Amino acid sequence: MTDPRVDLSIAEGIARLTIRHADKLNALDAAMVDALLPLCRRIERSDAFVVILGGEGGKSFCAGGDIAAWSGWSPEDFGRHWVRDGHAAFDALARLAQPVIAVLDGHCLGGGLELAACADLRIAEAHVKIGQPETGLGIIPGWSGTQRAVRRFGPQVVRRMALMGEVFLADEALRLGLVDQVVPTGEGHAAALGVAERLGARSPRATELAKMMINAAEGEERERVIEALAGSIAAASTDLAEGLAAFREKRKPRFSARRDTE
């Protein structure tokens, strides 16, 4: 499923994922959310070593969920589809093997903050505002704004945004750990390329494994990480080669004996 408002380009090892809905301040509707998941699968299987996530227009990184898109849904469909589909898409982004750099090149509110929270690093341009306005509309953050956001930013700063409606400017967001770097307006993508260059000088496999382990420690994807790492170890063993050979040759496998190395 594709949607031109969620644009992906991959070149020279860099995947650029851009929200192109500037007339709605890059707010997401259901079709855009649906498009995000398969794009993450494409990134995962590409030769990209880093992902740069941004929004077009310079006014808003992402204004969250498009109110016109979800306000008419029944309560059942709102929970069953809007919230759950958003979780599936955002989980896929947060759990990409590649590091994700979010360029907050405009305001980052509601679901936009939840989208930014999926990134490993956040670079904010000086003019941005960051917050969670949902409770002022009679709704709660629904795309892990009370879960992943708490794990990544800490409970107290999320309380200030979600309960009190506080909105933070870029420098305060840096002090609170909501973003990792603040740069002048218009320089976010150049700064992201600088970070990408540093990442490109490091081992892609070691970086992937380090990200997986950090995610596991954070509670992001503990079960998948454990099984993926164990599966990789098993797949690299001579036992797998022997087991597959035995299966093809219709015989009992002759596994090597376990050796005591002490």
- How many domains are contained in the chain? 2
Shared-domain flag, residues 159 and 228: no
Clarify whether residues 169 and 125 are in a common domain.
yes
Question: Could you tell me if 136 and 220 lie in one domain?
Answer: no
Domain boundary among 200, 219, 240: 200
Answer yes or no: do 189 and 215 share one domain: no
| Segment 235-244 mean pLDDT | 81
Higher pLDDT, 250 or 256: 250
182 strand-pairing partners: 124
Q: According to the model, what pLDDT value does residue 260 have?
A: 43
Residues 236 and 183 in one domain: no
Q: Which structural domain range is residue 235 located in?
A: 204-249
Q: Confirm whether 260 is domain-assigned.
A: no
Over residues 176-185, the pLDDT tens digits come to 999 999 999 9
Where in the sequence numbering do the catalytic residues fall?
A: 114, 134
Q: Which of 72, 114, 106, 52 is nearest to 89 (CA)?
A: 114
pLDDT higher than 80, residue 157? yes
Q: Is the pLDDT of residue 14 over 90?
A: yes
How far is the C-alpha of 239 from the C-alpha of 252, rounded, in Å? 12
The reply to whether the predicted model has a pTM over 0.85 is yes
Count the alpha carbons within 13 Å of 84 in the hemisphere toward its beta carbon: 7
Domain edge (last residue) among 200, 222, 240:
200
Q: Do 226 and 191 fall within a single domain? A: no
For residues 136 and 165, membership in a common domain is answered with yes
pLDDT, tens digit (0-9, with 9 covering 90-100), for 91-118:
999 999 999 999 999 999 999 999 999 9
Digit-coded pLDDT (tens) for 138-152: 888 888 889 999 999
Confidence (pLDDT) at 163: 95
Both 67 and 26 in one domain: the answer is: yes
Residue 257 falls inside a structural domain: no
